[in-house]
Chains A and B, each alone.
Chain A
């Protein structure tokens, strides 16, 4: 037993024998392996250095200052941007040039497409934009425009202006539209526009209004041309739209009901009213087959329509057999 002895540091293991040997003590095979090991180490170092250099180049390219781009890249001036509008767009090259504000003799490499896209989309008339660089000198701009379905009169400061409203409720200035087409659009009433910076917030429920207007424009164009304004005052609560005709007659549509049937009723009533030499009336088309009509002129012939109630005339004017089909309209 020697439990009293302290661990001796003098006990040496074979692992303390230094393993490196001089190349002259190596065989040719050993020297070859040594060289190959060196080559492999060097290749590894070069590979790591190459990877590092590549990363540095990529990072540098991501943060590159456009002013430091080579002169060759800047030497190719860009042609005027090529505009492609979807469907029947009205925006033209002049508008695009004004909007993009490209400096003269700018090269394609210097363009920041995100920034230019934002500049184009700042005009609310533009729904979507896609830009593509076609080297060496072409910029292709593809846009989709909003189509107006109504117009609205806005007092912007001291200057009143007429703005257009798209089917998604977006209000925009409207550039390049045919004035005749613009004048044919009905006015919107009964709404309050809320300003959001330089633009207005979209008008709610415009999709329903646009559906009524589109149905009228397609199915009964002679009626649509008589429409002066459309009021959205009852839209929020009752889902109802009140249309004022140029004759002063007001017709109330239900957005929930069948628009075509409501138009057919209106067509018939307006035709009858026309025979009464310009009588004005309030027509409620929201009740389905029952269509109360309230005449507002005293000169109207009370016999022309059945009377219901006291001083106000109201009558279901459409017996079942007399309803018109779309083809007849």
Chain B
């Protein structure tokens, strides 16, 4: 990144809404200066299915954010989600070349290239190559292994890949506004970085972002992302279930879900009923509360069970000492943290944005967009090299978030 000020847009094209944040990045510090939001159209389960509708709503959010910021966006960090995203783990090892067994940059480069070199199926493209910590003769090395002494250097990469056409569709929606996509960031990584602390990531933590159409998760171990995944199930499925089960329109079902939906069943009395609108107007109806809770809780349990199953052996309570952190709009469903704790067997809580994030950005629905800016900028800053001044990037961001 150059030292001149750039205006970066963080765009999350979600199933229910499209969120755009504008960040002013000076090369050292980041400040959120604009915000745009628009209800999403043409997007199902995180995938663009109607280019024109998706473009219109995205561009509307972009225009709104630019107006709010009073600046033109130079480039965009775009969140990626959807069922087409998959991941696999690949590792490689090399024998250290030097006669004194001191690891040289060439050894590191070779082992990294080897670990990333697995061929993808046709039509698939790499979105992220997430490196896990190096190992020197089986010993874990969290940082750079250069100049350490050992005979064998190992490294593994968690590679996230997606379908080329779907990635291109997302990029072209942004390009339709004549903006350059500078970085694709997995939505789970973005929100995960926002709601977990470095200590939690070091001890092991599972971050689950439950959106409207998809559920993104990332499991951190040893301070780095270990496994990521996407389940194409989200809050709209709960609404659908309510709609079908109680014979309601989607709007009515959504209203009931938000007001009375729970991830666990608390109602004791089957006859206890709740009003749809509560205004006793014509068309206002009563529904059994237990039925609502049973429907939403069944889907919530199922969703978390699916995540548990997809994680497989990568997850164990022993390697996830910091528990489960939930985020996303659907994470606000009452009782979801308790259910998550029971499903995963570890403590669970609703994720919160760091204290330096201003009040109107603290809703779980913004975690991904905030994380996009944070993760995208910090990853680019890492590529550009270490910061020249003391205080660190995070300190600067905290100060600026607090002042805005």
Contacts and interface: CB of A to CB of B under 8 A. Distances in A.
A14 interface: yes
Nearest to A16: B125
Contact of A17 (B55, B63, B116, B167): B167
Contacts of B119: 8, 10-11
B175 A19 contact: yes
B178 A14 contact: no
B118 A33 contact: no
Interface string A1-35: 11101111011111011011100011101110110
A11 B126 contact: yes
Interface string B138-169: 00000000000000000000000010100110
Given A19-B180, A26-B177, A1 B93 contact: yes
A33 B125 contact: no
Contacts of B168: 17
Contact of B176 (A1, A5, A27): A27
B120 interface: yes
B126 A26 contact: no
Nearest to A29: B59
B56 interface: yes
Interface residues of A, number: 26
B130 interface: no
A1 B119 CA distance: 15
A39 to B, nearest CB: 13
A19 B171 contact: yes
A27 B59 contact: yes
B120 A27 contact: no
Interface string B170-197: 0110011111110010000000000000
B63 A29 contact: yes
Contacts of B39: none
A75 interface: no
A19 B111 CA distance: 31
Contacts of B118: 2, 5, 8, 11
Contacts of B71: none
Contacts of A26: 175-178
Interface string B115-135: 011111000111100000000
B92 interface: yes
Interface centre among A10, A21, A34 (most CB of B within 10 A): A21
A311 B262 CA distance: 146
A8 B59 CA distance: 38
A19 B181 CA distance: 8
A304 to B, nearest CB: 99
B126 A21 contact: no
B120 A12 contact: yes
Interface of A: 1-3, 5-8, 10-14, 16-17, 19-21, 25-27, 29-31, 33-34, 37
Per CB-CB distance, the 3 closest pairs between chain A and chain B, nearest first, are A33-B178, A7-B117, A30-B177
